[in-house]
Amino acid sequence: MGALVLTAVGLTAAVTATLLAQAAAPAYAPGDVVTVNGISVTAPTTAGAVALSVDRADGNSQILLVMTDSAGRVTVSDGSDAAAGATTQVPPRKCNDPAFSVINGSSWPSTYNWNFRKATTPNEMTRKAATRELKKAVNNITNASNGCGLADRVGLTNNYQGSTTQASDVNSVPACASAAGNQNVTEFGPINGGGGNILAATCTYSTGSNGTIVAADVRINTNFEWWEGTGSCSGSTFGLQGVQTHEYGHAVGMGHVSEATSGNLTMSTNINGTCSNFEASLGKGDVLGLNSLY
């Protein structure tokens, strides 16, 4: 009887723990705003997915993915990545590291058309320089630009469609707009929430898991200073091309890899220092990830 009693107690405890876990998990409906660690995404009202990727200067980056299925069920995935602490592990060189991840397996059909809201360019650079660096950054992704001798087999192109007055779908919270606009906009602007320290944020909208990306917008935080890649650079200024190569990786469906184990890759969680465009050149895993999507 003792064994039976213990089994019954064990079952009761297990059932109770399960019920408590279920009760603790918030239930969301289409149209609800989902907020995790101060960043927000609205659950799609029809079948689809929205991912908000935020990249912080301290490496505590995050991808909040909210999906609504055809039955109206909402699922939330929070890919929060803590900054690498003290470790004796040395990550592989970027050309030797095959690590990659994708956000939800969705990809663009063939071309990423995008606009730049030039009027938002900060005072430390000209509009011409900002446009040049953004073009280089997105080309780094679609051309699989790398110093590893890896051929470009990425079946995706990009098309810069000029300046726009339309705001991006990423606001200063940061949060993604409940519905994507009719242009894919990159802009500068303040990002004041989300725990602070956010360099840039990207909203990616898709038809769902392993589906089609239909929109992607980027906001670059003007609370930081930005370097155009030439001339003098102060110690607190971040390289625009390097950071934006990472962000455009998110815009085409790429996720994060661990800073501790793959810190030399473009899609690692921590941007590699100020006055640097180190992440503008892709590593092996970055190229493999793009090849898996395109």
Residue 294 has pLDDT above 80, yes or no: yes
Residue 18 has pLDDT above 90, yes or no: no
pLDDT band at 263 (very low <50, low <70, confident <90, very high): very high
What is the mean pLDDT of the segment spanning 139-160?
98
Q: Tell me: the pLDDT tens digits for 218-245?
A: 999 999 999 998 888 988 899 999 999 9
One-letter amino acid of 221: N
The pair of three-digit structure tokens given for residue 234, joined into one six-digit string:
């102060």
pLDDT band at 292 (very low <50, low <70, confident <90, very high): very high
Spatial contact of 258 and 268, defined as CB atoms under 8 Å apart: yes
Domains plus CATH for the chain? 25-293 (3.40.390.10)
Q: Tell me: the pLDDT tens digits for 165-202?
A: 999 999 999 999 999 999 999 999 999 998 889 999 99
Residue 13 has pLDDT above 50, yes or no: no
Spatial contact of 133 and 229, defined as CB atoms under 8 Å apart: yes
Residue 12 has pLDDT above 50, yes or no: no
* Confidence at residue 3, expressed as pLDDT on a 0 to 100 scale: 40
Task: Show Cβ contacts of residue 83 under 8 Å, excluding neighbours closer than 6 positions.
Answer: 56, 58, 59, 60, 259, 269, 270
Spatial contact of 157 and 110, defined as CB atoms under 8 Å apart: yes
One-letter amino acid of 211: G
Number of alpha carbons in the 13 Å side-chain half-sphere of residue 145: 20
* Confidence at residue 82, expressed as pLDDT on a 0 to 100 scale: 59
User: pTM here?
Assistant: 0.90
